[in-house]
Structure 1
Amino acid sequence: MFDRLSAYAPQALAVLRIVAALLFIEHGTQKLFGFPVPAMGPAEGLMLVAALIELIGGILILVGFFTRYAAFIASGMCAAAYWMAHAPQSFWPVGNGGDAAILFCFVFLYLVFAGPGAWSVNKK
């Protein structure tokens, strides 16, 4: 059974890439435009940089254009966000609100190595 499922690995990777990118874009639009829910305040300084990486990097990852480069930058941004903003609040990710940052970090790190999968502008 798993051999047959393995034939769909490129499509499953693409679905992971697309869903993660859509959620990542949502974080950027929240910070920049207050959509889909209002942000806590205007994006300034490092929050503005993070919002631009989330929006632009998310779009690149979504369509599969320069996926490995965009995912590398996004992964690093998520790691920095976790250690700078979340970790000082509490040791446990569920207590400091950083579980999404950790998950994004490792999903994007995986995309650096795996590539975009099927349904992408660039195949490598």
Structure 2
Amino acid sequence: MRFLNEWQPRVLSLLRIVSALIFLLHGTQKLLGIPPKSFEVAAFSLSWFAGVIELVCGALILVGFMTRPAAFLASGSMAFAYWIGHAPRGLFPTVNGGDAAILYCFIFLYIVFAGPGPWSLDAKRNPKA
């Protein structure tokens, strides 16, 4: 157990990095077409704003800079996405396609409270935070 406890902060950093990278990819796909997409996102639509949040917050969370506010915004945007975009299509997340939105929402909410972990710019700027 001691080994697991010693690695807990580093694994928090890994959770943050991997979650943010995948979240960021949703933004790059919506706004930049990377990776290529089969849909268009109209400027200033809800999907466009979601893409901006995914791109900006995803990048901030990935490097661990202003992590808590970025994770708070990302978590809220995923809660909004679930209730506006997925829940109306059915009760169960596995049926309405909202399982990823729920996971992102709660992972980012956890990061708001847990912080970025030691492998972050926030930790480098303020080691006691």
TM-score (norm 1): 0.95
Report the Cα distance in structure 1 between the residues aligned to 2:42 and 2:3, rounded to whole angstroms. 47
Identity %: 55
Report the Cα distance in structure 2 between the residues aligned to 1:37 and 1:20, rounded to whole angstroms. 20
Kindly indicate whether residue 2 of structure 2 is the aligned counterpart of residue 25 of structure 1. Answer: no
Report the Cα distance in structure 2 between the residues aligned to 1:112 and 1:23, rounded to whole angstroms. 18
Shift of 1:43: 3.8
- Corresponding residue number in structure 2 for 1:74: 74
- Corresponding residue number in structure 1 for 2:39: 40
Question: For the Cα contact (< 8 Å) 1:30–1:39, is it kept in 2?
Answer: no
- Corresponding residue number in structure 2 for 1:114: 114
* Corresponding residue pairs, total: 123
Shift of 1:39: 4.5
Amino acid at match of 1:50: A
Change beyond 3 A, Cα 1:85–1:104: same
Kindly indicate whether residue 9 of structure 2 is the aligned counterpart of residue 10 of structure 1. Answer: yes
Report the Cα distance in structure 1 between the residues aligned to 2:27 and 2:38, rounded to whole angstroms. 10
RMSD, aligned CA = 1.0
Runs of 4+ in 1 over 3 A off after TM superposition: none
Unaligned runs of 5+ in 2: 124-128
Unaligned runs of 5+ in 1: none
TM-score (norm 2): 0.91
Cα deviation 1:32-75 (Å, max 9, x = unaligned) = 12221314212431111110000000000000001000000000
Report the Cα distance in structure 2 between the residues aligned to 1:7 and 1:60, rounded to whole angstroms. 26
